[in-house]
Every structure is written in C-alpha cells, then in structure tokens.
Amino acid sequence: MEYEPVIGLEVHVQLRTRSKMFCGCAADYQTAGPNTRVCPVCMAMPGVLPVINRRAVEFTIMAGLALNCSISETTKFDRKNYGYPDLMKGYQISQFDLPIAYDGYMDLAPSETVPGGHRVGITRIHLEEDVARLTHVGTGRGGYSLMDINRAGVPLMETVSEPDIRSAEQAEAYILELQSTMRYLGISTANMEEGSFRCDANVSIRPKGSDELRTRVEVKNMNRVRAVVRAIEYEIDRQTRMAEAGERLEQETRGWDDDNGVTLSQRSKEEANDYRYFPEPDLPPLYIDRALVEEIRASIPELAGSRRVRFETEYGLSSYDAKLLTARRETADYFESVVLSRDHSGDAIRAFAKEAANWINGELARLHNSSNGLDSDLADTRVKPAQLATLVELFQTRAISNNAAKQVLADMFVTGRDPEDVVDEKKLRKVDDSESLLPVIDAVIDENPKAVDDYLSGKETAIRFLLGQVMKATRGAADANTASQMIAERLETVRKA
C-alpha cells in the first residue's frame, strides 16, 4: 500500500504594533528589562477591562486580504480557558467561531521542490494575545521558574491552513512564503529564532488517492524552518512504518527534539484541554466597515511573488537573481531605486538592471552581511541607490576595472562617499593610454631583469608576471589588454637591442 502525507500548519506571528493587544503597554517586550512593560490589565488583576488594539485588527485584515480571504463583517473575541502559570487570567482572549478572516488560499510558485506549484487553502486568520514567558531554572526540589510578563498581551495573529499540504517541501515553501508576506506587509518581523513566527504542524497519512482525513498528530517546538521540515519528514516516516506494521496511530501532541531528530509524545487525546470557549463578556463584538477593508486593500504593496515575476519580465533578470532580490521588500525596493534612478529603457535598462543585480546580490550583499549579519536588510546602507547606479555605470562603461569597482564600493560602504570622488582620490580610473602606461611599463621592465630574461629565452608566461607588476604599480587601474600588448611590444624592442 502506498501512503500520502496530509499536513496542515498553524502559524502564530507576533504583530508589530506599538502597544499590546488589550492594554496600552509598549509591545517591545524583547529589548525591555523583565517585567517593565506591564500594567494591571496584562498582569491579570481582577476588575480591569481590556480594550481592542485597532492597529492589530487592521493588520489582520491586511494579512487576510493578502491571503485571498473573506473578511468577516461581524467578528468577536472569546475566552479560551486553560490553566498554566504563563496565563495568569486562567484564560486567553482569542477568537473562536468568528475569526477576522476566513476562506482564503496561498499559491506556492512552481519550483524545484514544488514542481508545478500548489495551492494551499487558508481556513482562518484570527487574533489573540501572547502569554508570559517562563524560564525554568534547575529541576526537582531546588528548581524554580522565573516569570517575565512583558510578553503577556502582545498581539498574536494565528493563520490556520487547510490540510492541503502534501510534503515537507511544500510545508517549507508555505512557511517561507508566509514569512515573506508578513514582512512585505510590514506587520511582523516574522522571525522564527526570535519567536515572532511560530509554527505547529499537524501530520497524518492516508492511502494514496483517498480523500479521507485520518488520525493526526500535532507537532510543536520547532524553532527553525529546517526543524519544521525535519519534524514533518520524521512524522511521515514514523506513521508510515506504524501503518505498515498494522499499528494504530493515536491522536496526540508531540514535541520536536532537535538534538536527537525525533518527535516525543507530550499529551494524548485523553489529556487534551477542553477549552470551554465562551464569548468574552468584557469586549464588544466588532463590525468591520467595508470602506475600511477597501482602504486597507488599496494600501497592500506588491508582494514578493508578483514582484519576482515582474523583475524577470521587465528587467530580464534570471529567476535566481529575481528571487534573491525579492526575498525582502527592502532589497527589492533598493534594487528598483537603483534602476529607476536612470531613465534607461528597452535593452539598456535590461543590461543596466542585470549589472545592478550582480552588484547588489554580490559585493554589496557580502559587505552588508559581514558587517550587519545575515538577517538584516539593505534599507539603512550608507550606499545610496543613485550612488550605486553611478558605480555600476563606471564599471559598465569600462572606466574602472572590476577590481577597482570592488575597492570603490568597499570605501562607499564605510564612508557613504560618491563613487567618482573615491575613484579620483585613489586614482582608479582605468589607464589605457600609452602615454601614461609607458613609463610604468618601462620601470617594471627595468626592475625585473629575471622575468625579462625568462621571456627572451622563450618562457612566454613571464609576461603574466610583468603584467601583474604593472597592475600592482597602477593599483589595478591599468587596462589589462592594453598593458599586456604594450609589454609584449616593449620586450620585442629589448630583444632587438
């Protein structure tokens, strides 16, 4: 019997609002000292009243529209009851039967790992609040837990997918696309390591071709995209082996153990919480005005997928370059500002864009990543788009060599100077007129009698050494073709002399 995996993902993202979900405390819980972003509401004092954060609702509507959802006209909040020390109220304010957004989908673009592309249904997107952070110190009798309430009440938006995902690779593509969308919309940092993007995976298997939904397990505790992929692969494998051995799968929650590469049982169905949802009596229902929905729809920027396609067709970029450039909105914006700072069109814009893409994805990315870390964006680089455009032109018109262009960019990256100024100061403009090259070549020939002898006795490769010396003397500014031709001519006159 052949089996196929059935996967549905639940993703929580923290929203980038200034204040928390139901109180006025600042939501910057990560940089603030422990328990400095707290008030009676998020500390769960009795008798306090929550107030809905408008921004968080707008962000959720925006996410819903970006994921092709319908937006509820009437929505409300509910209490989800459970007991755990990170939840001081004894319930979490969430949304049960009337989420803000529902019935959408995400199209995964065709790729090597997702051939032909794939559509994943979005069941719902709703709003809730994050819980306090517990740090466990030691175990047993001497053990204790520290509690930081800063995170309690930070807006959390949950996106639930339909069980439409059929492989770990599709799950990965879905997560990356969702991450990119949240970042393009500017509504979340969507960073798994920081905990602003968390993903639980529901996994089951069924006979290939069947459309039934069988018993599933929910896997938690993955804090990198790679971990989600490995956990799903592990579960598919484990469940398939169980099915082949005739064992019955139990519905349960399992945790991913990254060190050992396995999932471990955490809670069975019998131990599962009964959340006893009921409407939050302290908050009024929300009626979402259609005019607001349209206003938000109009503010949605072009997302990574369509931007990538446009970069390929409009600027003739390779899909590789287009993918790199659109991975982050800031990089894509930067690239486009570079290109649009010149009024090229047709073939010229394509040639210019291709060269600009090379410099942004290559040398600029290298400089940027090594000084700012991999996960930062280009938005705040000292090299202004128009300045990079000038550098690209200097290189494109062969006014400076590749090596010189790299030196110039390294300087611009630190100082923010104009490329022409750096080129002039460092005398990097390519020298290809014989008048300026001749004295340099003569000096090199004078200073390297051994290489000259080698050449004259038939070792033609010696010319490469001499060329290297000329390049060194001109700090890379000499035009290599012109210079090597001139060296050869010069050596012939030496031979005749």
Q: In what order do the strands lie in the sheet with 101-108?
A: 70-71, 101-108, 118-129, 155-161, 3-14, 197-207, 217-222, 252-257, 262-268
Instruction: Specify the residue, 11 or 391, whose C-beta has the smaller distance to ligand ADP.
Output: 11
Q: In the bound complex, what is the minimum distance in angstroms from residue 175's beta carbon to ligand ADP?
A: 13
Q: In the bound complex, what is the minimum distance in angstroms from residue 144's beta carbon to ligand ADP?
A: 31
Quick one: what does residue 178 bind among Zn ion, ligand ADP, none, with the CB cut-off 5 to 8 Å set by partner type?
none
Closest CA to 419 of 432, 400, 436: 400
Instruction: Specify the residue, 41 or 93, whose C-beta has the smaller distance to Zn ion.
Output: 41
Instruction: Specify the residue, 53 or 202, whose C-beta has the smaller distance to ligand ADP.
Output: 202
Summarize as ranges the residues that interact with ligand ADP (CB under 6 A): 6-10, 160-163, 202-204, 213-214, 216
d(CA 203, CA 10): 11
Six token digits for residue 212:
């039934």
Quick one: what does residue 452 bind among Zn ion, ligand ADP, none, with the CB cut-off 5 to 8 Å set by partner type?
none
Inter-residue contact 423 to 400 (CB < 8 Å): yes
Q: In the bound complex, what is the minimum distance in angstroms from residue 26's beta carbon to Zn ion?
A: 9
Closest residue to ligand ADP using C-beta atoms: 8
Quick one: what does residue 214 bind among ligand ADP, Zn ion, none, with the CB cut-off 5 to 8 Å set by partner type?
ligand ADP
Q: In the bound complex, what is the minimum distance in angstroms from residue 69's beta carbon to ligand ADP?
A: 15
d(CA 328, CA 314): 19
Residue 343: which residues within 8 A CB-CB, separation 6 or more? none
Instruction: Specify the residue, 216 or 307, whose C-beta has the smaller distance to ligand ADP.
Output: 216
Inter-residue contact 160 to 18 (CB < 8 Å): no
Instruction: Specify the residue, 158 or 336, whose C-beta has the smaller distance to ligand ADP.
Output: 158
Quick one: what does residue 202 bind among ligand ADP, Zn ion, none, with the CB cut-off 5 to 8 Å set by partner type?
ligand ADP
Q: In the bound complex, what is the minimum distance in angstroms from residue 36's beta carbon to Zn ion?
A: 11
236-249 burial code (b ≥16 CB/10 A, e <16) = bebbbeebeeeeeb
Quick one: what does residue 219 bind among ligand ADP, Zn ion, none, with the CB cut-off 5 to 8 Å set by partner type?
none
Instruction: Specify the residue, 214 or 342, whose C-beta has the smaller distance to ligand ADP.
Output: 214
Inter-residue contact 65 to 125 (CB < 8 Å): no
Residue 446: which residues within 8 A CB-CB, separation 6 or more? none
Instruction: Specify the residue, 55 or 429, whose C-beta has the smaller distance to Zn ion.
Output: 55
β-strand partners of 222: 199
Instruction: Specify the residue, 225 or 327, whose C-beta has the smaller distance to ligand ADP.
Output: 225
Q: In the bound complex, what is the minimum distance in angstroms from residue 375's beta carbon to ligand ADP?
A: 27
Instruction: Specify the residue, 152 or 441, whose C-beta has the smaller distance to Zn ion.
Output: 152
Q: In the bound complex, what is the minimum distance in angstroms from residue 20's beta carbon to Zn ion?
A: 5
Quick one: what does residue 42 bind among Zn ion, ligand ADP, none, with the CB cut-off 5 to 8 Å set by partner type?
Zn ion
Q: In the bound complex, what is the minimum distance in angstroms from residue 277's beta carbon to ligand ADP?
A: 10
Residue 396: which residues within 8 A CB-CB, separation 6 or more? 351, 352, 355
Instruction: Specify the residue, 8 or 419, whose C-beta has the smaller distance to ligand ADP.
Output: 8
Q: In the bound complex, what is the minimum distance in angstroms from residue 230's beta carbon to ligand ADP?
A: 18
Quick one: what does residue 13 bind among ligand ADP, Zn ion, none, with the CB cut-off 5 to 8 Å set by partner type?
none
Closest CA to 66 of 397, 303, 260, 419: 303
Q: In the bound complex, what is the minimum distance in angstroms from residue 218's beta carbon to ligand ADP?
A: 6
Quick one: what does residue 49 bind among Zn ion, ligand ADP, none, with the CB cut-off 5 to 8 Å set by partner type?
none
Summarize as ranges the residues that interact with Zn ion (CB under 5 A): 23, 25, 39, 41-42
Quick one: what does residue 8 bind among Zn ion, ligand ADP, none, with the CB cut-off 5 to 8 Å set by partner type?
ligand ADP
Quick one: what does residue 25 bind among Zn ion, ligand ADP, none, with the CB cut-off 5 to 8 Å set by partner type?
Zn ion
